[in-house]
Amino acid sequence: MTTTENLRANLERDLAELARLRDEIRVKVHLAGLDAKSAWKGLEPRLDQLERDIREEGTVVKGASVLLAKDLKSAFAEFRSRLA
């Protein structure tokens, strides 16, 4: 095998490996997106509920709402850091 043929064979092997890695990364990015959407679907309604609870309670905020707000703040921060 000549040097040119060796070079071509190596490049073709590298290209095949890069294509495989690309496909693997595409799948992982897609699945990560699905996981993020699923997690967000669980978080967002909790914020909506907290907003409703606070509006209904007026100026008197129950301790449970305060705890829920702290919990949601932590959950949102964790979710944001997982996206980065």
Per-residue confidence at 52, pLDDT binned at 50, 70, 90?
A: confident
pLDDT tens string 2-42: 888 888 888 899 999 999 999 998 998 888 889 899 999 99
Residue 69 has pLDDT above 80, yes or no: yes
Q: Which two tokens stand for residue 69?
A: 């707000």
Put simply, whether the predicted model's pTM sits higher than 0.75 gets the answer no
* Max intra-chain CA distance, the chain: 84
Tokens of 55: 């509006």
Cα 40 from Cα 76, distance rounded (Å): 9
Please give the mean pLDDT across all residues of the chain: 85
Q: Which has the closest alpha carbon to 44: 22, 76, 83?
A: 76
Residues 76 and 82: their CA atoms lie apart, in Å, by 10
Question: For residue 35, how far is the Cα from the chain centroid?
Answer: 6
Domain ranges for the chain: 3-83
